[in-house]
Structure formats: structure tokens, C-alpha cells
Amino acid sequence: MELFRVVKPGLFTTVQDLGRFGFQRLGVPVSGAMDKFAFTCANMLVDNQAKDACLEVTLLGPMLEVLNEAQLAVAGAEFAVTVDGNVVPLWQTVNVEKGNVVAFVGGARSGCRAYVAVRGGIDVPTVLGSRSTYVRGRFGGFEGRALKAGDVVKAFPREFMKTKRVMPSELIPTYEKELAVNVVLGPQEDLFAAEGVETFLSSTYAVTLESDRMGYRLDGASIARKTATEPITDALAIGSVQVPGNGKPIVLMADAQTSGGYPKIATVTTPDVSRLAQAKPNDKIRFSKISQTQAHAQYVEFNRVLNRLENQLVRQEF
């Protein structure tokens, strides 16, 4: 079913789902939504399956002409979203009619990324088990690229909901310009001088303009190593914190390469990777060390919260 004609694509709007797993050994990144929490919430608000694909909007959103009636929800970064010039609420189901124009007006007021979920999910081909876009590899999503003006986006047809879903205000996250991020040290913290580890944990870093879906390059105090020798290239994971020769950390994100040689001083916890995905250039980051046991407990709690969310959504008449 043809759903949207792209009038304006926004800064960087792609199709994403929960990611492409099982192919990292072949050099294929996981990709998928940068902020898994907001992505999952958007799908819940239109009663989709968790794996259904959405549009991921970055900093400056699109303008979309509606080609067929639909139900949608926008969750994540705070944008002004309008339908035919009328502001519509985020974090709840919205009905749109054929001929309506959905527009993101201005840039993100807080946060960096929002997710547009449509009832039924975005209809693009599955590549290696996922509909996610990997732009550097030019596959997945909409022809392996970000949306551009004139594109026609399709959705899978699914019976409409009789009632809308609304996220309670107390459950909607806030996105601050200063973020504390939990990390587990390692796997190669032993390659860093003690003062380097201390610098990493006590300094404030700024997100740079060179940050993207592959990784967040940070600016701040340089982290001292014991030696300038690079370790043997090995596997990388989403959330790995690499430190190149200039001593400035890089946090690997959803489109991260699958192997690399820069030493890894720490790994960001899974819930905080989602939180970090909402950081914009010039936002400030501080790292806080926790144990692996604590990280596991946070991961369990993160999933428990997501699993409970559907029952906490408010149902209202349209």
C-alpha cells in the first residue's frame, strides 16, 4: 500500500527496524534503530509488532504527503509535528487521511532522533533478515539509502485500531544536554595508563560534528595509553569505546564496523547506548564505571520496562 510521498526528506531519514543479527562474522553491521527504547514505544503506540520497520528521523525531519489513510505515531526527540498545519501530539496514535501533509517543523527541540511508526509497518524488502538501512553498504531499507524528495514509501496493510494509544507523560523520557553514561571497563583497559583511565572517568566530553550512526566522536581530555602500539585487530560491539592515537574516545553505535584495531577502554551498557543516541553535537557526556553484574541487572530492568509498557499505555477514543 502506497503510504507517503516524500515532499522534503529531512536531514537524514532512513528505514530501520531492530537490526540485522547473525552476520557480524561476515563483516555486516547490526544497524537498526539507534534508540531502541523510542523505536519500540513508537511501534507499541500503533499496536505493531516489535520488529516492524519505522522511519528514523535525525535532527531535521521530513515533510510527507499522505497517499492513503493511516494511523501513525511519533516517539523520541521532541519535534513540532503538524498535519495540514495543525500541531499533533507526540507519543500517541494519530489518524491521517489521504491528501494530508505530515510535516516536521523546524529542528529537534531536544534529543536527536525520532521514530515514525505506521500501523502495519514500513514495507521494504528484507535483506539478510532485516529491513534496516545500512547506507555505507548501500543495502536494506529504501534502496539502501536515506529518503529523498519524490520517494514513495509503502506500508503493509493492517486493520486499524478502534482506540488510540497514549504514552503517560511520566513515562516519556527527557533528553538533556548533559548525559551520564554507564560503562563497564574493558576489554582492553590494561593497555591504558592508570591516569588515562582516571581521565576517561573524570572528564566531560563533547559530541562532535563528526558523529553519526557509525560512531560518536568525542572531544575533550586526551586519554593516555601505556604504549602507542596498536593491538591486533579484533571484534567490536555496539557500545565499544575505542581510543585512537589522538586520545579522544569514539563510542561505536548501530552502524559500527565489526572489527577494529584501536584499543577499547570500556563498553557502554545497552540501555545507555539508546540514551546516547539522542545526544546532539555539542552535548556533553560523562562516563561512570559500573560492574558487569550491575550492567546485566540494568539490561534486565531495561527489558522489563519495555515489556511492561504496553499495559501502561492509556487507551482513548479517537
**Rounded-to-integer distance, Cα 173 and Cα 284, Å:** 18
Q: By the 8 A CB rule, do 125 and 54 touch?
A: no
* pLDDT values of the chain reduced to their tens digit, one per residue, 318 residues: 999 999 999 999 999 999 999 999 999 999 999 999 999 999 999 999 999 999 999 999 999 999 999 999 999 999 999 999 999 999 999 999 999 999 999 999 999 999 999 999 999 999 999 999 999 999 999 999 999 999 999 999 999 999 999 999 999 999 999 999 999 999 999 999 999 999 999 999 999 999 999 999 999 999 999 887 778 899 999 999 999 999 999 999 999 999 999 999 999 999 999 999 999 999 999 999 999 999 999 999 999 999 999 999 999 988
pLDDT of residue 230: 79
Residues 6+ apart with CB under 8 A from 26: none
**Rounded-to-integer distance, Cα 182 and Cα 105, Å:** 33
Q: What is the pTM of this model?
A: 0.96
**Rounded-to-integer distance, Cα 46 and Cα 117, Å:** 7
Domain boundaries 2-167, corresponding CATH code? 2.60.120
Hunting for cell 581510543 — which residue is that? 243
C-alpha dist (Å) from residue 290 to 53, 75, 180 = 33, 29, 12
pLDDT of residue 227: 82
Q: What homologous superfamily does CATH list for 178-304?
A: Cyclophilin-like (2.40.100.10)
Domain boundaries of the chain, sorted by first residue: 2-167, 178-304
pLDDT of residue 228: 77
Q: Within 10 Å of residue 106's Cβ, how many Cβ atoms?
A: 10
pLDDT of residue 231: 83
**Rounded-to-integer distance, Cα 22 and Cα 51, Å:** 16
